[in-house]
């Protein structure tokens, strides 16, 4: 007998429409880490501000520190939108933009972040949920 469960590689979880997640008026002038309540199916980021916004999949990707160049990010120019892009994420890291000028829209799967405990995608700590940042700065 075979048992199927919701998880990172469960195709059905990504075939259906995502449950809406919206967070608007975000202040990303300094470092901002946005954690999703479930694994995403897709994301969209809008920068309505008058300065550029860095969008990354790890804090190290958007910030230079300790020998890290902080150059692993996507640049969303002023008054532009990134996406929607289909990505399995539990967190998103933002930096730049203007106070209150960032909005994030995502489609959430039924995959809980607590169900993802995989050392192959979280090599730094096998008991940490996958952020989508393995191999990214």
Q: What is the pLDDT of residues 84-119, one digit of tens each?
A: 999 888 889 898 878 888 999 999 998 888 766 555
Which runs of consecutive H residues, i.e. helices, occur in the chain? 12-15, 59-62
- Banded pLDDT at 50 (limits 50, 70, 90): confident
- Give the total residue count for the chain: 137
What does the pLDDT read at residue 114? 74
- The two most distant CA atoms of the chain are separated, in Å, by 58
**Burial class of residue 3 in the structure, from the number of CB atoms within 10 Å of its CB (0-12 exposed, 13-18 middle, 19+ buried):** exposed
Query: Whole-structure pTM over 0.85, yes or no?
Result: no
Q: Decide which of 45 and 13 is more confident.
A: 45
pLDDT at residue 137 is higher than 50: no
| Sign, Cα dihedral of 135, 40, 8, 92 | positive
What does the pLDDT read at residue 126? 45
What does the pLDDT read at residue 128? 46
Nearest to 30 by CA among 2, 9, 51, 8: 51
Domain 14-112: which CATH class?
mainly beta
């Amino acid at each position: 007998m075979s048992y199927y469960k919701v998880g990172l590689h469960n195709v059905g979880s990504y075939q259906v429409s995502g449950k809406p997640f919206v967070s608007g008026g975000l202040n990303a002038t300094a470092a901002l880490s946005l954690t999703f309540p479930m694994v995403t199916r897709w994301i969209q980021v809008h920068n309505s501000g008058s300065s550029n916004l860095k969008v990354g999949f790890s804090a190290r990707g958007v910030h230079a520190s300790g020998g890290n160049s902080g150059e692993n990010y996507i640049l969303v120019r002023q008054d532009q939108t990134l996406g929607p892009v289909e990505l399995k994420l539990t967190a998103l890291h933002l930096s730049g933009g203007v106070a209150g000028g960032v909005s994030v829209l995502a489609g959430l799967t039924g995959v809980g972040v607590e169900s993802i405990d995989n050392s192959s995608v979280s090599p730094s700590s096998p008991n940490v949920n996958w952020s989508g940042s393995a191999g990214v700065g």
